[in-house]
Amino acid sequence: MDERRFTPAAGRFAPVRLYDPVVALTRERLWRSLVAMHVAPRPEDVVVDVGCGTGSLAVLLNRVEPRATVIGVDPDPEALAVARRKAAAAAVAGGTPGGTTEWRVGMGDEVAAIVGAGTADTVVSSLVLHQCPVPMKRAVLAAMHETLRPGGKLVIADYGKQRTAAMRLAFRFVQLADGKADTQPNADGVLPRLIAEAGFENVRESETVATLTGSLSLYVARRS
Ligand SMILES: C[S@@+](CC[C@H](N)C(=O)[O-])C[C@H]1O[C@@H](n2cnc3c(N)ncnc32)[C@H](O)[C@@H]1O
């Protein structure tokens, strides 16, 4: 595996600028709101968004709690440029009294080194792991575990087990864009097991959302 390879936000064939219009078709406001509900950021919290892409979730979380520090990490500088513009437009980038949104370039398996081991109250990630080869899914989850303080929370939103024929059919669009090898383990329901194997406790699938591109699952877990 080339550990430094990554699939860009809009998939293998489309430019990053198409990502936001496409992800809007996934009932985005619903599932991002559910993620925000589970993260429930508090003042002084450090929240790390792994694979933050164009920054929609990080910006939303900082809007929910401007006194939290939200750090977005992504390997794609082009996506981070969009995130910076989005944060500036939302007037959260450094301009919100007491609150900060920061952006760092890096892969998910490097996140503990990038933001510091044991520093995050919550690690969040959306629509990233389905784009990663299984060894990278494992490495990213291990790095997320290392990044959290003891008792910290993990919230992941991603394509999970595709339980119906309609959802399996819908998910083919994602598989075309992102490749079958990396996406099929998610569709087979591998994530809860990988999250537990990374050392997390109380792993549960708390929500599922049927979308035009397949079924999204929210997974929550704790670092003990
Ligand atoms: C589909 S986009 C999701 C972006 C954002 N999290 C969201 O919810 O809109 C996937 C993002 O994951 C990033 N990515 C892909 N492989 C990664 C890896 N191994 N570690 C961290 N980020 C990765 C890509 O650069 C891309 O920005």
Q: What is the pLDDT of residues 120-139, one digit of tens each?
A: 999 999 999 999 999 999 99
- For residue 175, pLDDT over 50 is answered with yes
**Residue closest to 143 by CA, chosen among 184, 195, 181, 191:** 195
CA of 151 to the centre of ligand 1 (A): 25
Nearest CA to ligand 1 atom 14: 51
Distance between CA atoms of residues 49 and 71, nearest Å: 6
Task: Spell out the domains of the chain, with CATH numbers in brackets.
Answer: 16-223 (3.40.50.150)
CB neighbourhood size of 116 (10 A):
14
pLDDT of residue 9: 87
| Closest-lying ligand 1 atom to the alpha carbon of residue 178 | 1
| Closest-lying ligand 1 atom to the alpha carbon of residue 51 | 22
Please tell me whether residue 139 adopts helix, strand or coil conformation: helix
Please tell me whether residue 1 adopts helix, strand or coil conformation: coil
Mutate to test the pocket of ligand 1, among 19, 22, 32, 74 (most ligand atoms within 8 A of CB): 74
Distance between CA atoms of residues 57 and 90, nearest Å: 12
pLDDT of residue 12: 85
Burial of 98 (0-12, 13-18, 19+ CB in 10 A): exposed
Mutate to test the pocket of ligand 1, among 56, 86, 131, 209 (most ligand atoms within 8 A of CB): 131
- Letter for the amino acid at 42? R
pLDDT of residue 98: 47
Strand partners, 72: 49, 103
Of 12 and 166, the structure prediction assigns the larger pLDDT to: 166
CA of 128 to the centre of ligand 1 (A): 4
pLDDT of residue 11: 84
Q: Where is average pLDDT lowest: 35-49, 78-92, 160-174, 187-201?
A: 78-92
pLDDT band with cut points at 50, 70 and 90 for residue 3: low
pLDDT band with cut points at 50, 70 and 90 for residue 93: very low
CA of 169 to the centre of ligand 1 (A): 23
CB 153, CB 222: distance < 8 Å: yes
CB 9, CB 76: distance < 8 Å: yes
Distance between CA atoms of residues 21 and 2, nearest Å: 30
pLDDT of residue 101: 87
- What six digits make up the tokens of 8? 């860009």
Residues with CB under 6 Å of ligand 1 are 6-9, 23, 50-54, 56-57, 74-76, 79, 107-108, 126-128, 131-132, 136, 140
CA of 178 to the centre of ligand 1 (A): 11
CB 72, CB 102: distance < 8 Å: yes
pLDDT of residue 1: 41
pLDDT in tens, 17-76: 999 999 998 999 999 999 999 999 999 999 999 999 999 999 999 999 999 999 999 999
Which helix (H) or strand (E) segment is 221 a member of?
A: strand 214-222
CA of 180 to the centre of ligand 1 (A): 17
CA 81 to chain centre: 17
Distance between CA atoms of residues 211 and 127, nearest Å: 13
Average pLDDT, whole number, for the chain? 93
Please tell me whether residue 156 adopts helix, strand or coil conformation: strand
pLDDT band with cut points at 50, 70 and 90 for residue 99: low
Please tell me whether residue 62 adopts helix, strand or coil conformation: helix
pLDDT of residue 13: 83
